[in-house]
């Protein structure tokens, strides 16, 4: 299982949309995928994945209720299935996609559960009682569901859980930012922290992939912003085997009024790629993130990369 | 404070902490109080006496129940270094720490091999906050 965390220092960069597209895209290519929403204070991945099932089943599970139950009854943690939603994937793809939302947000019950979680679990508890439920959830997804990929929606900004999702749980962190100095400086600071953070004994070094989003024009080639991007790319060490792009290139996702503004999930739609520059860019990014998985022709998608 | 009074206080503090546990109410502070009282008893009674050994084990056990692993470790270190600490007491005290780690591993069996990692990371988080940025 490879774990990717999608992180942004500031909100509104299209993080959940990219994650949702990646999840559906991978599942369409026959991969087993779990999407985990750890953005507990502003959860929304379930609006992009499996929302119909979420509403119809009056779903009450999710990561927050699961962690609360695990902290209280840790000798018999609840079945994972009770806290996950099966997200439909194109028939015949051979893949599967399960979503563990943060919980039944925005229902009142969710915020009550989140309050309980804060009372029961302190991640910095030196006895390890606070971190173990989170590490166990990660390991349990790996052991019981055996997905090819775990995609984590990490909390925006600088928070304990956002830090843990990126520094400890992830193999790769996709750091998304927009073209302004505030967003870049914050991202740079976090990327430096990620590279310096401790890892679990079994883990290798963390991969950081910076992605500039909502671009509308050429980015500056001089000045503080350009310098910042250069430093960010220096931190973004890539495994040689996974990158087909030239080293030190920055991924850019264009602003897309139609798909970006509507947060439309495009992956798996036959026509989406030809009308959406954003989706085309998503596909290019997926080639970098999942080089062994990307075979758009195999699922009947029009391939914008070949169309040009 | 006399050892009789300390014993009475310890007994009643343990009772309160257990009541909280039974009602699933956070009992960390109550166990911390137990540990503190047991520590005072341990100061008053040498480890060569059975009551002294009981107090030392009690101080460590209660610190663990309070979730204060660092205090538990520090107490074990101190008691093990005492001149009159018996071999059996040293073993028993170290066993308490091992049992605590094993119990955590059993509760979270999928991450059983990460208990030590979790404790080191928690300390890193405690010292440096999110992403370690405040260190």
Average pLDDT over residues A120-126: 87
pLDDT of A75: 66
Answer whether residue A50 shows pLDDT above 80: no
Mean pLDDT computed over B100-115? 91
pLDDT above 80 (res A268): no
Work out the minimum CA distance from B82 to partner chain A, whole angstroms. Answer: 25
Interchain contact B121–A (C-beta under 8 A) = yes
Q: In the predicted model, is pLDDT for residue A306 greater than 50?
A: no
Q: Please give the residue that has the higher pLDDT: either A153 or A245.
A: A153
Q: How confident is the model at residue A56 (pLDDT cuts 50, 70, 90)?
A: confident
The Cα of A257 is separated from the nearest Cα of chain B by a number of Å equal to: 34
Q: Is the pLDDT of residue A298 over 80?
A: no
Biggest alpha carbon–alpha carbon distance for chain B: 49
Q: How far apart are CA A22 and CA A304, in angstroms?
A: 16
pLDDT at A55: 77
- Which pLDDT value is given to residue A8? 95
Decide if B120 and A132 are in contact by the 8 Å CB cutoff: no
Chains A, B: CB pairs < 8 Å = 107
Residue A120 has what pLDDT?
84
A257: CB partners within 8 A, 6+ apart: none
What mean pLDDT is predicted for residues A21-36?
A: 93
A213-240 burial by CB neighbour count: b if 16+ within 10 A, else e? bbeeeeeeeeeebeebbeebbeebebee
Kindly determine whether residue B104 and residue A128, on different chains, have CB atoms separated by under 8 Å: yes
The answer to whether B92 touches B57, Cβ cutoff 8 Å, is yes
Distance, in Å, from the CA atom of B100 to the CA atom of B61, rounded to the nearest integer, reads: 9
- Does the pLDDT at position A266 exceed 60? no
A207 near A241, Cβ under 8 Å?
Answer: no
Using one digit for the tens of pLDDT, what is the confidence trace for A170-229? 999 999 999 899 999 999 999 999 999 999 888 889 999 999 988 887 777 788 998 999
Q: Is the pLDDT of residue A255 over 90?
A: no
First to last CA, chain B: 41
| pLDDT score recorded for residue A72 | 60
Q: What is the ipTM of this complex?
A: 0.82
Q: For chain A, say whether B135 makes contact (Cβ under 8 Å).
A: no
Q: Which is higher by pLDDT, A258 or B20? A: B20
Strand partners, A172: A4, A207
Question: Please, which contacts does A266-269 make with residues 24 or more away whose CB atoms are closer than 8 Å?
Answer: A266/A21, A267/A20, A267/A21, A267/A22, A267/A23, A267/A24, A267/A25, A267/A28, A268/A24, A268/A25, A268/A28, A268/A89, A268/A90, A268/A299, A268/A301
Nearest CB among B70, B108, B117 relative to A136 is that of B108
CA distance A66 to B131: 24
- CB-based contacts of B61: which residues, under 8 Å, 6+ apart? B96
Arithmetic mean of pLDDT, A29-47: 94
The pLDDT score that the predictor gives to residue A308 is 23
Distance from CA of A302 to the nearest CA of B (A): 41
pLDDT band for position A294 (cuts 50, 70, 90): low
- Give the model's confidence band at A74: pLDDT under 50 very low, under 70 low, under 90 confident, else very high: low
Mean pLDDT along residues B91-109: 93
Would the CB atoms of B130 and A131 count as touching at under 8 Å?
Answer: no
Best interface-test mutation with A: which of B99, B116, B118, B120 has the largest number of A CBs within 10 A? B118
Using an 8 Å CB-CB cutoff, list residues of chain A that contact chain B.
70, 72, 74-75, 119, 123-133, 135-136, 138-140, 142-144, 158-160, 162-164, 166-168, 189-190, 193-194, 196-198, 200-202
C-alpha distance from A135 to closest chain B C-alpha (Å): 6
The percentage of residues in chain A with a pLDDT greater than 90, rounded to a whole number, is 47
């Amino acid at each position: 299982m490879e774990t990717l965390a999608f992180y942004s220092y500031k909100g509104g960069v299209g993080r959940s949309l990219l994650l949702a597209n990646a999840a559906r895209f991978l599942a369409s290519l026959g991969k087993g995928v779990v999407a985990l929403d750890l953005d507990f204070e502003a959860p929304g991945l379930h609006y992009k994945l499996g929302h119909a099932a979420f509403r119809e089943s009056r779903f009450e599970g999710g990561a927050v209720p699961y962690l609360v139950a695990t902290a209280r009854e840790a000798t018999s943690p609840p079945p994972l299935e009770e806290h996950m939603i099966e997200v439909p994937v194109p028939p015949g793809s051979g893949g599967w996609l399960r979503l563990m939302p943060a919980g039944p947000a925005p229902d009142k019950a969710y915020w009550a559960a989140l309050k309980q979680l804060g009372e029961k679990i302190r991640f910095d508890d030196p006895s390890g009682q606070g971190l173990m439920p989170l590490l166990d959830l990660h390991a349990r997804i790996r052991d019981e569901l055996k997905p090819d990929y775990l995609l984590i929606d990490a909390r925006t900004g600088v928070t304990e859980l956002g830090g843990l999702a990126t520094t400890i749980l992830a193999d790769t962190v996709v750091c998304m930012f927009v073209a302004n100095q505030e967003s870049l400086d914050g991202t740079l600071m976090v990327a430096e922290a990620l590279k310096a953070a401790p890892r679990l004994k079994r883990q290798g070094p963390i991969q950081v992939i910076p992605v500039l989003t909502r671009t509308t024009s050429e980015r500056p080639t001089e000045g503080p912003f350009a310098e910042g991007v250069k430093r960010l790319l220096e931190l973004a060490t890539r495994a040689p085997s996974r990158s087909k792009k030239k080293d030190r290139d920055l991924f850019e996702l264009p602003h897309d009024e139609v798909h970006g503004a509507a947060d439309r999930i495009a992956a798996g739609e036959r026509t989406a790629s030809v009308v959406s520059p954003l989706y085309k860019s998503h596909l290019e990014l997926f080639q970098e993130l999942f080089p062994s998985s990307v075979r758009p022709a195999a699922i009947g998608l029009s391939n914008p990369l070949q169309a040009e | 404070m006399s050892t009789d009074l300390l014993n009475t206080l310890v007994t009643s503090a343990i009772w309160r902490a257990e009541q909280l546990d039974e009602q699933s109410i956070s009992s960390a502070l109550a166990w911390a109080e137990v540990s503190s009282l047991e520590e005072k008893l341990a100061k008053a009674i040498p480890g060569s006496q059975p009551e002294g050994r009981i107090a030392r084990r009690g101080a460590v056990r209660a610190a663990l129940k309070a979730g204060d692993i660092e205090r538990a470790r520090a107490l074990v270190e101190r008691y093990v270094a005492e001149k009159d600490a018996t071999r059996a007491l040293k073993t028993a005290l170290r066993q308490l720490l091992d049992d605590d780690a094993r119990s955590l591993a059993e509760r979270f069996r999928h991450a059983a091999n990460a208990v030590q990692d979790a404790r080191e990371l928690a300390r890193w988080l405690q010292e440096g906050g999110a992403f370690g940025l405040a260190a």
